Amino acid sequence: MAETPLRTVPDLTGMLKHAGHVLETQLTAALAEIGLSPRMQCVLVYALEEERTQIQLAELAYLDKTTMVGTVDALEKAGFAERKPSETDRRARIIAVTPEGVKAAVDGQRIVDQVHGDALAALAASQRKLFADSLAELVGGQLATPVEAQPVRRTRQRS
């Protein structure tokens, strides 16, 4: 049996993936109670900030084109948003939040804040701000931009 390599640095990838997965499942369950998904909540909040196209919202929410279309379809079906022509570019369509969508976004943000607050409550009060600030520094600096990588491809097997 081969010797396991010695880790010299904590497994940030594993810990961040696990924490992100657990938070997302908690958030999904909590938002479902008011008919939202985390994606829907995210798009509503960004759409309320300013007039944005579907493409702009997808970039901000880290959603691919297909997922974004499905998310906006769900928002429209729920009566929370609608696609409208942009006032500045007639070729572009913006996502406009309806009054029902504004209420859903406000209620959803209250839920998001509660889930995040509950997660932070697992830390000592003196550590919460330091943890959040340190994480913000990482994602705003060293971990701000993904590295463009080619997908790993297998070499073809000759028959």
Provide the β-strand partners of residue 97.
81
Residues 6+ apart with CB under 8 A from 30: 111, 114, 115
116 within domain boundaries: yes
pTM for the full model? 0.84
CATH number at residue 118: 1.10.10.10
| Angle, alpha carbons 131-135-136 (nearest 5°) | 115
pLDDT digits (tens, 9 = 90+) for 48-102: 999 999 999 999 999 999 999 999 999 999 999 999 998 888 888 899 999 999 9
pLDDT digits (tens, 9 = 90+) for 130-146: 999 999 999 999 999 88
5 within domain boundaries: no
Question: 115 is in which domain, residue-wise?
Answer: 25-134
155 within domain boundaries: no
Number of domains in the chain: 1
